Amino acid sequence: MKQVIVPLNAFDKTEVLTKGQTSFIKLIAESGAFGIEIRRELLTEQDPPLDSIRKEIDQYQLFTVYSAPIELWRANHQLNVEELTEIFHEGKQLGAKWIKVSLGHFLKDSSELKDLLTFLKQQQGIQLFVENDQTLHGGNVHQLIAFFESASEQDIPVKMTFDAGNWYYSNQDVDEAFSKLAPFVHYLHLKQVENDNGELLTVPLQKDGRHSWEKVMNSFPSDMVKALEFPIEPKEKTSEYIQMITESEAVTCNN
């Protein structure tokens, strides 16, 4: 099952900013992807209005995720209502079914989850996802556990994007993250992170069974939606990586 999403930050940043994200839609569709992840931070004047991007995506029947680099909880531990409202408005224009943000500064005893519940009740047809980012607060395993467990107890409809590589940047234990957060995960971001003389680098996926991305992917159900969030160079290799994931899914199903 090719449940693979291609985020626009997987491609050369200069080319994306110069040509616009719309110029990659056809390539992504013809590569056999299930969907596309539009990145708010890469939107420029080269891109048409969001509703025009939606029409282009709809032409290829791609599932749309909208990723915005905002934090759900502000530094004062309160809900980031103003930016959330803006992001959801943009997401609706784009035709996104999922919106992805970072956790931010959640504090169990201070952050008002009822505010999030109230906000989400006003939104129809869009699922909110919270991802572990590369910061020490938004990528902290224990903070994320506290948030998702609390949200679950209060029946707040929020799901997790599990980024397999970001744990290394936030210096967290991947196995602990998986064991505690797996019940909340519905979307995987796959990347391979390597240490190059003390510097962490995100590199293209390699397949030989030794890499953490593969271990993480195979620990989740094979039909979970996955994103290729690593440098795809040249962009024409997109279909090869989608095929790699599809083959790995098939192996998992047969085991």
Query: What are the residue ranges spanned by the domains of the chain?
Result: 4-254
DSSP state string for 195-237: EETTEEEEE----SS-SHHHHHHHHS-TTSEEEE-S--SSGGG
Residue with tokens 């020490």: 136
DSSP state string for 39-50: EGGG--TTS--H
Task: Report the chain's mean pLDDT, rounded to a whole number.
Answer: 93
Three-class DSSP labels, 132-197: CCCCCCCCCHHHHHHHHHHHHHCCCCEEEEEECCHHHHCCCCHHHHHHHHHHHEEEEEECEEEEEC
Tell me the pLDDT tens digit for each residue of 104-150.
999 999 999 999 999 999 998 999 999 999 999 999 999 999 999 99
Determine if the peptide bond prior to 234 is cis (ω within 30°): yes
Summarize the confidence of residues 3-20 as an average pLDDT: 96
**pLDDT given at position 209:** 58
Tokens of 125: 């047809």
Tokens of 90: 């943009």
Tokens of 148: 């998702």
pTM of the entire predicted model: 0.94
CATH of domain 4-254: 3.20.20.150
193 pLDDT more than 70:
yes
16-30, 194-208, 239-253: least confidently modelled range: 239-253
